[in-house]
Amino acid sequence: MGAGEKSGSLVSPSLFVMPVYPEQVFSMTERIITTTLAERDLQYEIPLRPATLRDFIGQKKVKDRLEISIGAAKMRKEPLEHMLFSGPPGLGKTTLANIVAKEIGANIKTTSGPAIEKAGDLAGLLTSLEEGDILFIDEIHRLNHVVEEYLYPAMEDFVLDIVIDKGPGARSVRLNLARFTLIGATTRSGLLTSPLRSRFGIANRLDYYEAGDIDQVVKRSARILNVQIDAAGSVEIAKRSRGTPRIANCLLRRVRDYAQIKADSEITEAVADQALTMFDVDEFGLDEMDKKIIHTILHKFNGGPVGVNTIATAVGEEVGTIEEVYEPYLIQQGYVKRTPSGRKTTPLAVQHFGGSKEPKGAGELF
């Protein structure tokens, strides 16, 4: 958006190719931008994802609310209200969106905030939806603000207002949309604008999983992958998974590889410990970067306070990655705390890492 444009303006001249006729707008459906999971996710994660609410482990409050909303909508034979899932990465936001679509019996189209670059992309998506369809937008907080404003009438009144032509001949055309459900997912709900957040009738936040729930996730995934694992081995993987199913499944696959080569394909507590130690995941679930961050604050800056930008520079990582990926778990587990003057370590971090040596690479920026 140029410096002279206002965020509240409906259309930027660059949003549509002019001139265009109303019937041509529908040709934009051929330009739907749909993002797919990385090849790694497609190959490994999708087979492990539950397909129904009954199979979904953990997040009981969220599941109870969804069961009521889905059941009521099916009884009234109406589309679901617009829905927002928020929470750290890897907790099941995308999985729940697909489960909702299956439970309600609706088609789902998937995209992401960064993929919708201009209003024409959004128009193509919205005009392709049929009655009751679900549009899932991952990382919705990264939507272009001009594009976001097109969502407001679409979400509230199921219409899309576009401007055709430029100059004296410009005119507005209103397109009626099928009643659809928008499901948004975000890892940073604080970056959502208030007007967008207020248009979601159902908002659910996913929290880190309890150890028992993660243990169930590991056992379920092991059955799907046909992995031999005993109860103690499952617990060992679960307690190092940071309360995140995605990480649990990733660690399970790494331990499976180790067991296949070193332990006749059977995962026990000892095998899991040896494998995860080799992959730099300690008994507290902290990986190499977690320990770098704690060591940096504790030893290089005397326990803090120190700014996150300084920490990022010291460990050679992006600020956003530290704030979104590493810091939430470190704060939740009580190793780091935020203060008005910066990040500080806690007595727990001093107890566990006060005398530890600098992790490999902690002082290397290049």
Query: Which of the residues are catalytic?
Result: 93-94, 138, 187, 246
CB 176 within 8 A of CB 158: yes
What's the chain's length in residues? Answer: 366
Cross-sheet strand order for the sheet of 134-138:
108-112, 134-138, 181-186, 83-86, 202-205
Number of neighbours of residue 324 by Cβ within 10 angstroms: 14
Closest CA to 126 of 189, 82, 87, 92: 82
Distance of alpha carbon 160 from alpha carbon 122, whole angstroms: 10
Distance of alpha carbon 347 from alpha carbon 336, whole angstroms: 9
80 DSSP 8-state letter:
P
195 DSSP 8-state letter:
H
CB 158 within 8 A of CB 150: no
Distance of alpha carbon 363 from alpha carbon 21, whole angstroms: 60
Residue 304: left if φ>0, alpha if ψ -120 to 50, beta else—which one? left
189 DSSP 8-state letter:
G
Q: Can you read off the two tokens belonging to residue 183?
A: 């499901």
Angle at 225 between CA 224 and CA 228, to 5 degrees: 105
